Amino acid sequence: MKNLFKILIFLFITFLFSVGERKNKDLYTISKINSFSQIVGWNNIQGNWKSKENKIVFWDSIRDEEKLYGRLGLGNSNIIDISTYTIKQHPNLILISFTYKDGFYRYPSIREDWTNTYETKVIVVEKINLIKLLKFDDKKLSLIDLPVGLLDNPQGNSPQEFSVSFYTSEDELEEQILNYIKSKLPIYFQPKESDYWFESKQQYLKICYYKSENTIQYMIGLLPKKTIVSDLKEIDWFETVTGDYILIDYYDISDNPNISEYMNYRYFESPFNEFKKIFLNN
Looking at the 3D structure of the chain, how many domains does it have? 1
| CA 47 vs CA 42, 61, 264, 266: distances in Å | 12, 11, 9, 11
Question: Cα separation of 77 and 26, whole Å?
Answer: 36
The percentage of residues in the chain with a pLDDT greater than 70, rounded to a whole number, is 67
226 versus 21: the higher-pLDDT residue is 226
The CA-based diameter of the chain, rounded to the nearest angstrom, is: 87
A 10 A CB-CB count for 266 gives 21
> What is the pLDDT of the chain when averaged over all its residues?
75
40 versus 138: the higher-pLDDT residue is 40
pLDDT digits (tens, 9 = 90+) for 170-225: 888 999 999 999 988 887 887 665 444 445 566 778 888 889 889 999 888 776 65
Question: Cα separation of 165 and 167, whole Å?
Answer: 7
Residues recorded for the chain: 282
A 10 A CB-CB count for 158 gives 11
**Overall average pLDDT of the 32-47 stretch:** 91
DSSP code of residue 230: G
List the one residue out of 195, 197, 247 whose CA is nearest residue 221: 247
Residue 19: inside a domain, yes or no? no
DSSP code of residue 58: P
Residue 231 has a pLDDT of 44
The percentage of residues in the chain with a pLDDT greater than 90, rounded to a whole number, is 24
Residue 156 has pLDDT above 90, yes or no: no
Residue 10: inside a domain, yes or no? no
Q: Residue 257: pLDDT band by 50, 70, 90 thresholds?
A: very low
Q: Which domain, by its residues, includes 230?
A: 30-279
Residue 13: inside a domain, yes or no? no
Residue 244: inside a domain, yes or no? yes
pTM: 0.80
CA geometry: angle 137, 99, 150, nearest 5 deg: 80
Residue 17: inside a domain, yes or no? no
pLDDT digits (tens, 9 = 90+) for 57-99: 888 888 888 877 667 778 878 899 999 999 999 999 999 999 9
Name the residue type at position 201.
Answer: K
Residue 20: inside a domain, yes or no? no
Residue 3: inside a domain, yes or no? no
Which residues, listed in sequence order, are joined to residue 268 by a DSSP beta bridge?
41, 218
Which residues, listed in sequence order, are joined to residue 149 by a DSSP beta bridge?
124
Residue 153 has a pLDDT of 58
Question: Cα separation of 197 and 149, whole Å?
Answer: 10
Name the residue type at position 13.
Answer: I
Q: Residue 262: pLDDT band by 50, 70, 90 thresholds?
A: low
Residue 16: inside a domain, yes or no? no
